[in-house]
């Protein structure tokens, strides 16, 4: 593996970038020293932070969209089921009325 000073910013893994972002509590001088020791510039940390924030927003957004789509599909299926049940109930009521009307005619 490459030594810390020989590593390019592109060579850092996501986990290593996340650990590096935890340097936000350092003072400016300490932060610049840490960056020099690790072969980075502060703008690398800023760009990594932006990338992490954007990835989180996109991931949560797509997850929310997927959940909403699933819920929408479930509600559509339930609506279709209820509509079919309503049509069946209406048909049974009409048949019941016709049956009663038929029996009333025969009784008279």
User: Where do the structural domains in the chain lie, given as residue ranges?
Assistant: 10-107
Q: Which pLDDT does position 2 carry in this prediction?
A: 45
pLDDT, one tens digit per residue, over 49-83 is: 787 777 666 666 678 888 999 999 999 999 999 99
pLDDT bucket at 87, cuts 50 / 70 / 90: very high
pLDDT of residue 30 exceeding 70: yes
- Higher pLDDT: 22 or 92? It is 92
DSSP state at residue 22: G
How many Cβ atoms are within 10 Å of 17's Cβ, its own excluded? 18
DSSP H helical ranges for the chain: 14-20, 28-38, 42-107
Least confident of 4-13, 42-51, 58-67: 4-13
The first and second tokens of residue 44, run together, are: 């690398």
Collapsing DSSP states into helix, strand and coil, what is residue 7?
coil
């Amino acid at each position: 593996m490459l030594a810390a000073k020989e590593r390019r910013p592109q060579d850092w893994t996501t986990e290593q970038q996340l650990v590096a972002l935890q340097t936000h509590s350092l003072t400016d001088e300490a932060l610049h020293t840490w960056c020099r020791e690790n072969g980075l510039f502060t703008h690398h940390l800023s760009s990594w932070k932006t990338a992490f924030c954007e990835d989180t927003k996109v991931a949560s957004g797509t997850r929310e969209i997927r959940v909403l789509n699933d819920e929408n599909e479930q509600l559509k299926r339930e609506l279709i089921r209820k509509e079919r049940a309503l049509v069946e109930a209406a048909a049974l009521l009409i048949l019941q009325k016709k049956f009663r009307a038929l029996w009333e005619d025969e009784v008279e």
